Structure 1
Amino acid sequence: MWKIKPLLALSVFLFLSEVFPENAGAQINTSNLSDTLSSFSVRDAPEWTEMFYRTGEWFGADGVFSFSLDGRESIGAGNGGKNLLIFSDTMTGDVRENTVYNFKMVNNSVAYITGIQPSDETVEILLNHDTDGNPVNYFSPETENSRPDEYYWLGDGFINKEDGNSLNIFAYRVIDNSNQSWDFEVTGTTLITIPGDDIHPPFENQQQTDTPLYIDIPGLGKGTFGSGIYVNTDWAGAPNPDGFLYIYGLVDPGKQLVVARVKPSELKKFNAWRFWDGTNWNRSINSVKPVTERVSNEVSLTPLKAGRYLLVFQLDGIGDYTAIRIGDSPVGPFGPVQKIRKVPELTDPPGIIPYNAKAHPVLSTEEELLISYNTITMDYFNDILNYPHSYRPRFFWLKIGE
């Protein structure tokens, strides 16, 4: 079983000292480096961040993966259509004067967004409820390998147009080891499939499939696949499609990024999966080799002009900086870390910790890429009662120069 050690990760990022840009708003030029962005700027996205500042029943969540429900994943693909956000651990209750009443945490929730302009009219955040009206999960482990005390953290997913437009989401089976914050174990990976004609709550026709995508390799580490997905197909709008899904995984120690690929039509044929061993696509998951490191448990890969690829992550998983690397292909090689933004909430009480940044191409524009990250506190389960808005997604825009 893969034990999460956030305190170790936190200590790592505090003493690592590389020299990268730290300005959150100014234009940054690194034109002497061909494997970095030569010019970019960032700015806050308050229209998105404030949309998830809530005092009603849903008042915070993490995770935050986005999908255009027609299967397109290119920049701005969600404009004019229906889009879905999925969240993992979700805080519910009644927030009054920064105090939470009737607090309960559930493990997932969703939001539907019409178009790419957030407003009260276009964004609908939804919780599942039991027959007594209490918040409950949409997705809970129900596979042969599942245990009664497990729940899901949701990974990335995609709309599979080669399987009736089904929505497929990778989910990690998790158990709590104690009543203390941060003491979790990931025990396995599930593939959740929702039929294309049923992508609406409460997802009663979901199918859950145990997968062999848990990694425990001597000399490499432990981890799972599903941290991010790049759909390199023509129907998804990829600029150089080869017809494959590229599924990214996270291995600790070192927050190492690993890659698998498979055709969308063979997603559930796990003997058809191939794993990047640094040179070739190999049948054996134990042959996988990392393509880069110091990324986060959730990432995104977005194609850029001139055939490059933008990897977005929170540096070292839990850290002060949202960062990027530039790759020549979906498996790299990837260039050095570029810190693109220091999280501005770091000084907010009771001590904000940012994690798991990623881009949202379908909600972006041709001019700017929308990026989210999550925030939490060290003693979050107690802090949330008096600082309810410390645990929620935040957003900013990245503009890439010519």
Structure 2
Amino acid sequence: MKRLTLVCLYICTALSQSIAQTKSVNLTDLKFTVEEAPEWSALLKRSTGWFGGDGIYTIPLNGVESKPSGPHIKTLFIFSDSMIGEIRDNTMAPGFKMIHNAVAVLNGNKPIAAQIKFYWDTDKKGEAESLFIPATPKADSSDYYWLGDGFVNQANKATYIFGYRVRNVGSGPFGFREVGNTLIKLAPGDQPPYKDAKQMDTPLYLTDGKNEIGSFGAGIYVNTKGAGAPKPDGYIYVYGVTGMAKNLSVARVLPVDFEDFKKWTFWDGNSWIGDINKAATVTTGVSNELSLSALPDGRYALVFQHGGMSTTVGMRIGASPIGPFGPVIKLWDCKADLTEKTFVVYNAKAHPTLSKPGELLISYNINSLEFIKDLKVHPNLYRPRFIRVKFQ
């Protein structure tokens, strides 16, 4: 009993010291410049096959998440809703189709069109189809997946991707609702169209009395030595977003326990607990897709579209993967992209493995509230744009 008491005292003391240290970190000042990254934006400007999509996340297939990739590393791009077809005479040719998710694989770390290949599935008629279609016990036949973040788990070399189970509940640009959270597992070496992918319903989805939805998988930070994290503690941090206020919460789990949801814990503001409903809000005003990246000076960059859907690509500086986080730092104003009143921007995030040392490559999505109508006139509208932040 005495030994157990000493161990508990040591853990509590270490936690208190860690919290005290993070509170002393400067969360407001950061010297940087920012510019467009046109070569990366041009990589996804295409006229045949995949010619538009959103939801972009990038996963280095060697599992090294926090360091720039080398010329021999493959990167998996994952997209949600995607347009498949052809652009001719500056409009979408007849026969185009929107599917709900697709991927691409980039060879190397440079935006070279000849080095990227896009993948989707086909149905019995030979028409384009989503790669991942809900097939879990909780799935309805009308459900489809939008994809969250993913990573290669070095504990078993499998690739894990979060799938948000979405259902249409009405008409118009916002006539949909997320109804569940799924984990998609790709075996080591599995190739598109991923016919052997495993799908698991997760408990990482919640609603409250106000019918506000929360779900985890908006971003992942792999804080392990194998992933190249500068201050590894051995855990995988998974970020969740809840409600219209875009409240951010944090879960963590060891790599070997990633599929054992009973071993997931949630930060309640003081300690890690097993009750998802008591997860604390560590900051607000983020977006449903985001990223957390280590900065060169030891702090962390939380990158997001401020408020979910605005013209501001924002960043909060964090003292640790769970915060505390400072005020919003405006990185970029996307107003120049809104050449029509119906255009919107959303879901900014960073891609550290495609960034050069001392820089952070960031993407944001562009869409339209009158989707098909605007795409007939602006067929290359619906694709990510990139900016580059250089730290001084």
Q: Give the TM-score of the pair, scaled to structure 1.
A: 0.88
Q: 1:174 aligns with which of 160, 163, 166?
A: 166
Q: Is the 8 Å Cα contact of residues 36 and 326 (structure 1) preserved in structure 2?
A: yes
- Confirm or deny that 1:300 pairs with 2:266: no
Query: Larger RCO: Structure 1 or Structure 2 (Cα < 8 Å, ≥ 6 residues apart)?
Result: 1
Residue type at the aligned position of 2:46: R
Bigger mean CA deviation after superposition, 72-81 or 152-161: 72-81
Which residue does the alignment assign to 1:46?
A: 38
Tell me which residue corresponds to 1:260.
Answer: 251
CA distance in 1 between counterparts of 2:184 and 2:265 reads 20
Question: 1:94-113 residue pairs with structure 2 within 5 A?
Answer: 94-100=86-92, 101-113=94-106
Percent identity between the two aligned chains: 43
Task: Quote the offset at 1:131 in angstroms.
Answer: 4.4
Equivalence map 1:1-400=2 (5 Å): 34-100=26-92, 101-163=94-156, 165-198=157-190, 200-218=191-209, 221-349=212-340, 351-400=342-391
Q: Residues 299 and 358 of structure 1 are in contact (CA less than 8 Å); yes or no, is this contact kept in structure 2?
A: yes
Residue equivalent to 2:16: none
**Secondary structure in structure 2 of the residue aligned to 1:47:** helix
* 3-state SS in 1 of match to 2:80: strand
Q: Which residue of 2 aligns with 1:24?
A: none
Residue 29 of structure 1 corresponds to none
Q: Which sections of structure 1, spanning at least 5 residues, go unmatched?
A: 1-32
How far apart are the structure 2 equivalents of 1:356 and 1:176?
21
- Following superposition, the deviation at residue 77 of structure 1 comes to 2.6
SS, match of residue 173 in structure 1? strand
Superposed displacement of residue 390, structure 1: 1.6
What TM-score do the two structures reach when normalised by structure 2? 0.90
Distance 1:127 1:269 in 2: 30
Moved over 3 A (4+): 217-221, 344-347
* 8 A Cα contact 2:99 2:129, kept in partner: yes
Tell which deviates more after alignment, 78-87 or 247-256. Answer: 78-87
Query: Could you tell me how far apart the structure 2 residues matched to 1:177 and 1:327 are?
Result: 37
Q: Is the deviation greater in 131-140 or in 150-159?
A: 131-140
- Report how far residue 161 of structure 1 moved: 1.1
Q: 2:342, 2:370 within 8 Å by CA — same for their partners in 1?
A: no
Asked if the contact 2:296/2:358 (under 8 Å) is kept, the reply is: no
Unpaired runs of 5+ in structure 2? 1-24
Instruction: Measure how far apart 1:296 and its partner are.
Output: 0.4
* Alpha carbons of structure 1 residues 222 and 132: separation in structure 2 relative to 1, 3 Å: closer
Residue 54 (structure 1) shift: 1.1
Q: 1:118 Cα deviation (Å)?
A: 1.1
The structure having more radius of gyration, on CA atoms, is 2
- Residue 220 and residue 91 in structure 1: after superposition, are their counterparts in 2 closer, same or farther (change >3 A)? closer
DSSP 3-state at the match of 1:35: coil
Amino acid at match of 2:137: E
Aligned to 1:17: none
Report how far residue 379 of structure 1 moved: 1.4
- For this pair of structures, how many residues does the alignment match? 367
Q: Distance in 1 between matches of 2:311 and 2:160?
A: 31
Change beyond 3 A, Cα 1:129–1:350: farther
Paired position in structure 2 for 1:26: none
Deviation for aligned residue 1:177? 1.5
